[in-house]
Amino acid sequence: MTEETTPTIHPAELTNDAPTCAIDTNKKIITEESGEHKKWFEEAAKVTTDSLGDFVKHLVNDYHHDYGTIVHAIAAGVGATMSAMNNSEEGGLTGFQASCLMWEILQKEFQIEWPVRLIKYENMLFPVYEKQFNSIPYEIWVWLRERAKYLIENEDGLADSVKQHMKSISDGVVPFGYKVVNDE
């Protein structure tokens, strides 16, 4: 190889856990510290269905990503897709629909199943949100008891302390100082 064609090694790849690979010199080398990724989210909000493909290609083809920047690039691509679809003739999500979208993505892409709660700790500053931090809905309590019984009966290898905890739940002891509330 001549000096001109010798591949460049990205500094992030000089660790024991990163494989060595050649850097495409046509791509901009970025890191999270460079902050390059911050503008992608502003751009993503303006993407249309016509420009979506070009935006995604830009994120993939114009940068050499490190461990962190690829996450930002994918997030910006997802955000661009949502913006493009929502800003189309078929779009116009309400706030409620947007929250449903978030849960749909968590379930389908990250296998986060019901029951689950997203906690915004800033809400601890406002008394109206007290129930979020000290109570569980009755339907979740029923689910927890049933799930504890199921796991005790069907899961091999549970530690004794875990079995005892699950047994107390299945017997009706609400864990961790929580209260059960009926939100009807």
What distance in Å separates the CA atoms of residue 37 and residue 144, rounded to the nearest whole number? Answer: 41
Task: List residues bridging with 180 in a β-sheet.
Answer: 136
pLDDT at 26 (0 to 100) = 84
Tell me 64's DSSP state: E
pTM of the entire predicted model? 0.66
Q: What is the pLDDT of residues 38-47, one digit of tens each?
A: 999 999 999 9
Percent of the chain with pLDDT over 70: 87
Q: What is the pLDDT of residues 166-175, one digit of tens each?
A: 999 999 999 9
Does the pLDDT value for residue 110 go beyond 70?
yes
Q: Residue 63 burial (CB < 10 Å; 0-12/13-18/19+)?
A: buried
Write down how long the chain is.
Answer: 184
Q: In the chain, how long is the greatest CA-to-CA distance? A: 74
